[in-house]
Amino acid sequence: MEQDSVIHIDQLSKVYTVNEREAGLVAAMRSLVKRKTRAVQAVDSISFSVNEGEIVGFLGPNGAGKTTTLKMLSGLLHPTAGSATVLGFRPWERNRDYLRRMTLVMGQRNQLLWDIPVIDTFELNRAVYRIPEPQFRLGVDELTDLLDLEPLLQKPTRNLSLGERMKCEIAAALLHRPSVLFLDEPTIGLDVTMQRRIRQFITDYNMRTGATVLLTSHYMADVEALCKRVIVIHHGKLLYDGELTGLADRFAPFKTVEVELHNGAGGQPLAQYGELMAHSEGRVTLRIPKAETASVTGRLLAELEVSDLTVQDPPIEDVIEHVFSQSPTPLDNSDSQRPPSE
């Protein structure tokens, strides 16, 4: 069955005007009379759509334009050019009906009031979003159970650890049951156990409500656990929009070959077959150019006493690192229009 796009972006751009001046008193005085500025292209004509119920990873290095895009989609910024709709609304018009149906969680920003108990911030959000009392109580009970918030509700925010605060931040953002979630680094700075709990909660919320999620994260464990589809941007340009599993096919110029040898390496110079990544107790890991995979594996099998051989795509972290280290080649926007899921 064809689905309507919940999020639709068409040639969206954002340019910031940044003040510049040289160091020193003279330059400071000169800037009072004539200020020098330059334009910074934060987002450069990107286009994509996200269907109802999808959890999509939105990836890019620092400064790629991810947070700027989320701020435009949540109504905090006006675009310089292009258009976008979320749930049929233009976000920067800040329609009340739209604001009641979306939320933005930023792992590096604090929405909880610092000096009052967490439950009081929840009560404030109830008033802001005009949540009916029965729905509010039910929501608090569900979120308290899912995120284990009971010991935290009566504590002032300033007394919470980072992990505790992040759980409460997410709960506060979901009390009004939004159908679109923009999550900007929701697990940043958390320990591995807490990251896992937050990921499981996002999965559960998506399954329970059918919410659409656009997620940024520098932790690839978040992306691999939550997202089948990823969108990659670099220097504000769209580089990739497709299945996470297809990222290596598109961008990785190499394969990883693991070889298990009889009686160790047998003295063979293994570097002749490829870049030696690891070698211990008869198990060798090589990095081989993708185009040479078939010929190199053939040589390995013919020339060495191989008991097992596995060819794999490189880890997603390595692929992403390779993508970000290259000069960006923008994806043709006509290619980025993915057909609706069926």
Check which CATH number belongs to the domain holding 235 and give it. Answer: 3.40.50.300
pLDDT for residue 213: 97
54, 102, 181 from 6: Cα distances, Å: 9, 11, 11
Here the CATH number for the domain that contains residue 300 is: 3.30.70
Q: Which domain does 52 fall in, by range?
A: 45-249
**Type of residue numbered 179:** S
Which tokens in the block code for residue 339? Answer: 């057909």
Residues 62 and 199 in one domain: yes
Domain count across the chain:
2
CB atoms within 10 A of CB 322: 15
Beta-carbon contacts of 158 under 8 Å, excluding residues fewer than 6 positions away, are 114, 115
Q: pTM for the full model?
A: 0.81
pLDDT for residue 329: 64
Question: How does pLDDT run across 251-301, given as a tens digit for each residue?
Answer: 778 888 998 887 765 556 777 888 888 887 778 888 898 888 899 999 888
59 HSE (CA, 13 A, CB side): 30
Residues 59 and 198 in one domain: yes
Give the residue from 209, 234, 249 where a domain finishes.
249
Beta-carbon contacts of 233 under 8 Å, excluding residues fewer than 6 positions away, are 43, 46, 58, 59, 60, 64, 65, 66, 69, 239
Residues 134 and 260 in one domain: no
> Which of 15, 10, 18, 62 lies closest to 43, judged by CA?
15
Which tokens in the block code for residue 136? Answer: 């509010």
In a domain, 157, yes or no: yes
In a domain, 340, yes or no: no
> Facing residues of 234 across strands?
237
Contact 29, 35 (CB under 8 A): no
45, 126, 145 from 65: Cα distances, Å: 11, 32, 35
Residue ranges in the chain modelled with pLDDT below 70 = 1-3, 264-268, 326-342
Residues 202 and 264 in one domain: no
Residues 157 and 291 in one domain: no
pLDDT for residue 264: 62
pLDDT for residue 327: 62
pLDDT for residue 328: 60
pLDDT for residue 342: 36
Residues 199 and 257 in one domain: no
